[in-house]
Amino acid sequence: MDVALAVTVGMFFTVAIYLLLSRKIVRILLGVAVLGNAVNMLIFNNGRLTREVPPFIDVDLMTPDRLTANPLPQALVLTAIVISFSLFAFLLVLGYRAYQELGTDDTTEMRTAEPREAPNPPQGY
């Protein structure tokens, strides 16, 4: 089971990097979302999921007398889901606003600081 999850996480990272290296803003945004999910799955996989045991220790014990689940990866993933969703929403609005202003979602055509018809800047002193 761990090998299948590791391969799945690797595939998620591969797809995320491929999408992030694209020229289109929409693909870059999807790459950010997939990258967030890949990181969440990596944290969850490294937390050694145990479904049958609770993450509780009896009150009278200093150390657990049986196998317990680790609640830290679950808390980290829950926090990361909220943060990645808010980041994705912000980037989506930013990308839409850039599309409205520039009329394109291709990053090579987004040249408002250096228009194509402008002459080249001086190259030396």
- In a structure prediction context, what are the per-residue pLDDT tens digits for the chain, which is 125 residues long? 578 888 999 999 999 999 999 999 999 999 999 999 999 999 888 876 666 667 677 777 777 777 777 778 888 889 999 999 999 999 999 999 999 988 888 888 887 677 777 777 788 87
Q: How far apart are CA 92 and CA 103, in angstroms?
A: 15
Asked if 43 and 17 touch (Cβ cutoff 8 Å), the reply is no
* pLDDT at site 37: 93
Q: Is residue 57 part of a domain?
A: no
- Residue 124 located in a structural domain: no
Range of the domain at 40: 2-51+68-102
Q: How far apart are CA 25 and CA 97, in angstroms?
A: 11
Which two tokens mark 33? 């979302």
Q: What is the rounded distance in angstroms from the CA atom of residue 21 to the CA atom of residue 95?
A: 16
Any domain includes 46: yes
Q: Do the domain assignments include residue 123?
A: no
Question: Is residue 16 assigned to a domain?
Answer: yes
pTM of the model: 0.75
Does 23 reside within a domain? yes
Place of tokens 């998620």: 12
- What's the rounded Cα separation, in Å, for the pair 101 and 111? 11
Task: Answer whether residue 121 is part of any domain.
Answer: no
Total structural domains in the chain? 1
